[in-house]
Chain A
């Protein structure tokens, strides 16, 4: 009886151990930040976009084996800043829809791994 219970308990434990042996998220690389004519930038700590403008960046989440993970980027308030995929892999456009502040989440393999504060700034008065 005890042996049977141990065998049953061993199965999920082994499964957990095996899962733990797989690659884990390590870090996110953000490169090629491209400003608009009025400025703006994207890095790991902040996204800044002037209202009405677009800034772009190349984003790659990497696992601990240095392999790229599946990426999704989402804005918590798309009325302020929209995160839109560019047709080239892992390039993202941050669209400054309205002045304000929100957060943009980076998801690797469907898990939130990084949250970046996104700020849409007003254009200079004319």
Chain B
């Protein structure tokens, strides 16, 4: 009898999961449980499938890095009794950092490229409605990196989601004439820190490998001729050197 019941219920589980108020794919549920915070995947290692959101909301961002966060309330909350979310297209939701209104607590600040990790410590990101009511909030550590890590991305700079850092791999290979894109992120104790960094990329031998274009922590390189070259990325006081083999 119990087994039969189980067979009946198991196919219903995906449907029941679809009833969940908050889609937590790639998000972190806020401290008040009123919605999810999402990080832009351009500021992280990998993207959630079919979205521009990071696969995971990070625990920490690197000091000096920039990043973009959005907040998504569940549909049920929009029918709340005293919630004012009327302004299209973003329903009036404003993302702020603690201290931003008062000019204090500069752990996280706002800049032209989104939010920024400014001071070592814990900052708080707050989602408010149009009336200034707090909808939800989440914490994010601003951490000091100790090295750089490099990941391969697709040609748009989006993380491929392999979780494998190419800087941990020896012998990166690229075909002559082919392009590959990489992203550098900071890390602390081998834990990757989110946030886009201001980086500089150089090739040790431009007759073998050239830097095609670089921006906000990402670089696209092209193999020019067969041979070996080093791709060097620097950010702040850190440097990472990749050995690239260009094949004919």
Contact = CB atoms under 8 A, between A and B. Distances in A.
A80 B98 CA distance: 11
Given A85-B134, A87-B83, A93-B137, A52 B123 contact: yes
Interface in B50-77: 77
Interface residues of A, number: 28
B139 A98 contact: no
Given A52-B124, A126-B121, A82 B31 contact: no
Q: Which of A38, A51, A91, A96 has most B Cβ within 10 Å?
A: A51
A53 B80 contact: no
Interface string A8-36: 00000000000000000000000000101
Contact of A54 (B81, B98, B103): B98
A106 B1 CA distance: 58
Q: Dominant SS at the B interface?
A: loop
A113 interface: no
Interface in B11-39: 31-32, 34
A97 B134 contact: no
Interface string B78-102: 0011110000000000000011011
Interface in B119-135: 120-124, 126, 128-129, 132-135
A68 B144 CA distance: 48
B104 interface: yes
A37 interface: yes
Interface in A63-86: 78-80, 82, 84-86
B133 A85 contact: yes
Contacts of A56: 31-32
B82 A54 contact: no
A98 B99 contact: yes
Nearest to B107: A52
B242 interface: no
Given A56-B32, A96-B98, A87 B80 contact: yes
A50 B144 CA distance: 20
Interface in A32-61: 34, 36-38, 50-54, 56
A86 B98 CA distance: 15
Contact of A96 (B105, B132, B135, B144): B105
Q: Which of B34, B98, B128, B137 has most A Cβ within 10 Å?
A: B98
Contact of A53 (B122, B128, B132): B122
Contact of B98 (A52, A85, A91): A52
Contacts of B128: 84
B101 A97 contact: yes
Given A52-B122, A53-B122, A87 B105 contact: no
5 contacts: A79-B104, A87-B135, A88-B32, A97-B102, A98-B105
